[in-house]
Each structure stands twice: as C-alpha cells, then as structure tokens.
Amino acid sequence: MRRKKKNGWIISFALLLLLWIFIPIYWVLKTSFAPEEEVWGMGLPRNPTLQNFRDIFTMGQGSMAEVTGAMLSISPTIVTPLGNTLFVAVLAVFLTMLVSSIAAFNLSRFAYRGKQVVSSYILFAYVFPPFILMVPITVMMRRLGLYDSLWGLMLAHLAYTIPFATYMLRGYFLGIPQELEEAAQVDGCSRFHSFIRITLPLAAPGLVTVAIFSFVLSWGDVIFATVLLNTQERYTLPIHIGFFLWGGEIIDPGRLAATALVAGLIPAVLYIAIQRFVQMGLVAGAVKG
C-alpha cells in the first residue's frame, strides 16, 4: 500500500511537470497558427492560418501596429536576424570543436607540470555566469575593433562554450586506448596524424555532443548579443524577438509565436536528428571524466 501511494505521488508530480512544460509549447503552437482575432483565446483556432509565418518572412520595415492609441513600428522580416544567428552559431561550433579537441587531447595524453591546475581551471572558468564577463569582454572587443560585429559576438560565445567542451572531450579521450595511437605511429603516422585519423573518428559521439551544446548556447544567447550588438542589421534572433514587445506588453502575439516557433524548431530538429550520438557522448564523457 505504501509503495502504491509513493508511486502515485511520483506519477502525479510527473504529470504536473509535463503539464508545466506543455502549456508554453501549446500556447506557441496554437497562437502561431491563429488569426489576429483569435490569438488571445485559450482553445485551438477555429480558422487556422499560415499568415503569421508569411508575415515574419516578408513583412517590411515600415509595418505598423496600433498599441494603446499609438502607432508603433513592429518587427521587420526575420530573414536577416535568422541568417546572423546561423552565421554566429555555426562559426562558434567550428571554433569550439577545433580549440577544445586540441586542448582536450593535450590534457588527456601529455604529462607536464601544472597539468592538474590547468584541468581544474578550465571547468572553474565555466562556473562564472556570463554577465560577470560582460565588462572585460566589451573592453576587449572595443580595443580589437570587433564591437558591434558578428565576429566579436562569436568570439564572446567561445568564452563559455570552450571550457565545458574541453572538459567533456578530455573525459572522452581518456576512454580511448592510447595503444591505438601508438600502433598507428609504429606504422608511420605522426602524433598529429594519429590524432586526426584514429582519435577523432573514435570520439565522434563526443564531438557531436560538443557541437550541439555549442550550437544551442550560441543560438539562444541574449546577454552577449544585447551588450555587443548596436546595429539593427546585425541583430540576432533572440534580440529580434524584442521587437514584438513594448512596455512589457506583447504588441503582436501571432507573429511573436511564429518567430519563437521558428527559433526553437531549428535546434530541436537538429538535436532529434542526432540524439543517439548525443546520449553516447554524454554518458562516455561523464563516466570517463
């Protein structure tokens, strides 16, 4: 009886958690397909439409909406912010994988004085919340001439993707027998070529996990983008969503929901497509780390 009661509580909490997760998703889905007169209704739209999606991809800069008696400029097309976000996220993934894989291989294969300190510092650097890095990163970007540029934003993202990626790949590399690399070197491969031809292919699940982690962090970043970008043509998708808000009020819920759905769908589809590799990478990195 006690066990059944305990299972009942667990099931109840699980259902409440699922409901808590499902309600925002439901609101976004139903609102994105709802016509203007039905966006605030709780039920499914009686006349579903794709107009909101057509608007966010074709709406011009001069589009206006009446809010509390005043005409306000609403969001332009999302094509440019979407392209900016993809550009920054893809570059961040590439550089994160390049730097973290080399750093992780160094920490997992070579012995030198201070190695343990370096290993601990890498994870310690990830502990700091991003806003603590705002002032030094902003100063650095201004002096480098990268302030208000997508390249500067991408480099800022590396500050919190590389530490975690290095720590995870280090654990994965430790699980790969060094004898495989030594056998390749006996056959004539250099240390670098054995790393490229032997270690990296075997670490593919870990690399995929790092790529997804870096992509999602860069894709959804708001803090760095808000501080480092100052020109509308360079805004990323998370900042672009702010166009739909005025004074804490949502001025265009249909297009806001459509934009949010597009923004969330891309990383979700990417994760689902390679979910198996992500799970393998997380488990191996956790066990061997």
pLDDT 10s digits, 21-49? 888 888 888 988 988 888 787 788 888 88
Does any domain span residue 256? no
Does any domain span residue 121? yes
**Whose CA is closest to 167, among 113, 111, 213?**
213
Question: In terms of domains, do 21 and 52 share one?
Answer: yes
Residues 6+ positions from 165 with CB-CB distance below 8 Å: 96, 97, 100, 104, 210, 213, 214
Predicted local confidence at residue 1, as pLDDT: 65
Higher pLDDT, 155 or 12: 155
Predicted local confidence at residue 140, as pLDDT: 92
How would residue 151 be classed by pLDDT, with cut points 50, 70 and 90? very high
How would residue 215 be classed by pLDDT, with cut points 50, 70 and 90? very high
| Length of the chain measured in residues | 289
Instruction: Report yes or no on whether pTM surpasses 0.85.
Output: no
Does any domain span residue 221? yes
Question: In terms of domains, do 66 and 124 share one?
Answer: no
What is the tens place of the pLDDT at every residue in 160-191? 899 888 988 888 888 888 888 888 888 888 88
Predicted local confidence at residue 286, as pLDDT: 43
For residue 82, pLDDT beyond 80: yes
What average pLDDT does the structure give for the chain? 82
For residue 157, pLDDT beyond 90: yes
Per the structure, the count of domains in the chain is 2
- pLDDT mean over 57-74: 52
Q: Distance (Å, rounded) from C-alpha 3 to C-alpha 284?
A: 34
Higher pLDDT, 79 or 72: 79
pLDDT > 90: percent of the chain: 20
CB 120 within 8 A of CB 238: no
Higher pLDDT, 87 or 287: 87
Higher pLDDT, 117 or 288: 117
For residue 284, pLDDT beyond 60: no
Half-sphere exposure of 159 (CA within 13 A, CB side): 22
Question: In terms of domains, do 17 and 109 share one?
Answer: no
For residue 239, give its domain range: 79-251+264-288
The segment with the largest mean pLDDT, out of 38-47, 64-73, 230-239, 270-279, is 230-239
Q: Quick one: DSSP state of residue 134?
A: H
Does any domain span residue 281? yes
- pLDDT mean over 199-220: 87
For residue 67, pLDDT beyond 50: no
Tokens read off for 238: 């998370």
Q: Distance (Å, rounded) from C-alpha 84 to C-alpha 189?
A: 40
Domain edge (last residue) among 35, 52, 70: 70
Question: In terms of domains, do 283 and 158 share one?
Answer: yes
Question: In terms of domains, do 83 and 65 share one?
Answer: no
Question: In terms of domains, do 157 and 53 share one?
Answer: no
Q: Distance (Å, rounded) from C-alpha 190 to C-alpha 22?
A: 53
- pLDDT mean over 91-119: 87
Quickly count: other Cβ atoms within 10 Å of residue 169's Cβ. Answer: 28
Predicted local confidence at residue 90, as pLDDT: 95
